[in-house]
Structure 1
Amino acid sequence: MTMNKNFLRNNDFGLLLLRLTIGGLMLFHGVSKLINGVGPISGMLEALGLPGFIAYFSLAAELLGSIMIVAGLWTRAAAVVFAGNMVVAVLMAHAGQIFSVDPATGGWAIELPMLYLLGATVLIFTGGGKYAITRGSLLD
């Protein structure tokens, strides 16, 4: 059995793994908001003087956006919404930690939100790859 030398250089498979990783992991956050409600986020928004109903956009981004990214359905568009949601999350919930290190791990205090944000940003530039439902379109 011979292995194709390009097997380990498959960008489309890498994009599939990226989509499954960031979309799949963020899906847990969306399902949690669906089951438990968006009350805590609504409260944070209202404390900032914003209308609480905006929290439902976070639910949509984390639930529907994640499903779209995993499936590769209009990946670029879903990734824009996903990344925007993460920018708002960082600014609302983690702004005081941007220049902090987690003393327990030694890692950047906001590394998880940034991994989601930067992973989505990669998908904005690359699209979903060959293994996406919609591929080759502007919104892919």
Structure 2
Amino acid sequence: MSGTQASQDLGKAVLRIVLGALILFHGVSKLINGPGFVTQVVTQAGLPPAVAYLVYIGEVVAPVLLILGLWTRLAALVVAVNMIVAVALVHTGQLGLLNETGGWAVELQALFLASALAVLLLGAGRLSVGGIAGRWN
């Protein structure tokens, strides 16, 4: 494996592991405290309360798969959809706003979405449980 390939695989690993870990913190919070806020938001949007439980797939299952590098592209797609839904249901009013330090009010959500899209396009790389083989890795 050449130095260039090794650095690309390491970069892919860093991106997917950090994305997975940071999203997983949100999932662990919901495991500990329940999906109450999410349930409230989805019902206010006219969706069935059961839809709120999909947050566990987007914020627990998919991040664990990203960290492991297993079914990576599918997991990244789930995280991207999760972020789009989160922005649509919770953060739409902040899209044109800046936060108190001058950053974009939804910069964290945008960074999570962009990172998930990058992982979806790049795949897991060789430093993963799934390796580079397979359609979803």
Q: TM-score range by the shorter chain?
A: over 0.9
The answer for unaligned runs of 5 or more in structure 1 is: none
Deviation (angstroms), 1:32: 0.7
2:7 corresponding residue in structure 1: 10
Query: 1-side partners of 2:111 and 2:58: how far apart?
Result: 16
Q: Which runs of 4+ in 1 moved over 6 A?
A: none
CA distances 1:16-53 after superposition (whole Å, capped 9, x unpaired): 11011110011110111111100111011111111111
Where in structure 2 are the equivalents of 1:30-69 lying within 5 Å? 30-69=27-66
- What percent identity do the matched residue pairs reach? 40
1:108 corresponding residue in structure 2: 104
Q: Secondary structure at the match of 2:128?
A: coil
User: Structure 1 counterpart of 2:105, which letter?
Assistant: A
User: Higher helix fraction: Structure 1 or Structure 2?
Assistant: 2
Q: Which has the larger radius of gyration?
A: 1
1:127 equivalent in alignment to 2:123: yes
Deviation (angstroms), 1:84: 0.3
Query: 2-side partners of 1:51 and 1:129: how far apart?
Result: 38
Deviation (angstroms), 1:6: 3.5
What's the TM-score once normalised by structure 1's chain length? 0.91
What's the TM-score once normalised by structure 2's chain length? 0.93
Q: How many residue pairs were aligned? A: 135
Query: 1-side partners of 2:70 and 2:101: how far apart?
Result: 36
